[in-house]
Amino acid sequence: MGEKVELRRVSAVEAAGVDAYLHRTSRDLPPQVGVLLGFEGSDSDTAHDIAVHIAAFSPQYLTRDEIPADVVAKEREIAEETARNEGKPEVALPKIVEGRVNGFFKETCLVDQDFAKDNKQTVGKVAEAAGIKLTGFVRFRVGA
């Protein structure tokens, strides 16, 4: 093959249903991003759409509950420090911090992200409407 191939990460998704999606960044190259999505329910088309969404938006966690407490605490600390440096009034800090932490959740949690095909709904609402329960996912990117 002539290439150095290094396996850095192995993962498995166990669920009643599993959707796999491979994304090519160029037609003449092999896939660069791979996603496995575990779900319960029968709407495999919606599950596939969510797998495509994962490839595009790179969530790190399925739900807020999966985020380690120290990561959330660090985000709160950063949000508070940023707000103070911007000269925000002391009485407004709690709401500002909470808003920024919610923005962090919306960016990093799959079920809180705006759905790629309909940004007026979250991924969680789309899954719920389709009658599927998301149980887990893994996302791989070549070289990352």
CATH number assigned to the domain covering 68-108 = 1.10.286
CATH topology of domain 1-61+120-144: Tetrahydropterin Synthase; Chain A (3.30.479)
pLDDT of 8: 78
**33 Rama sector, left if φ>0, alpha if ψ -120 to 50, beta otherwise:** beta
Ranges in the chain annotated CATH 1.10.286: 68-108
pLDDT at position 1: 63
Domain with CATH 3.30.479.20 in the chain: 1-61+120-144
Side chain identity at residue 65, one-letter code: D
pLDDT of 144 reads 66
Q: Give the pLDDT of residue 44.
A: 93
User: Is 127 within 8 Å of 50 (Cβ atoms)?
Assistant: yes
What is the block-wise mean pLDDT of the chain (144 residues), using blocks of 10 residues? 77 90 88 94 95 96 95 93 87 89 94 94 95 95 78
Count the alpha carbons within 13 Å of 17 in the hemisphere toward its beta carbon.
16
Q: What is the pTM assigned to this prediction?
A: 0.85
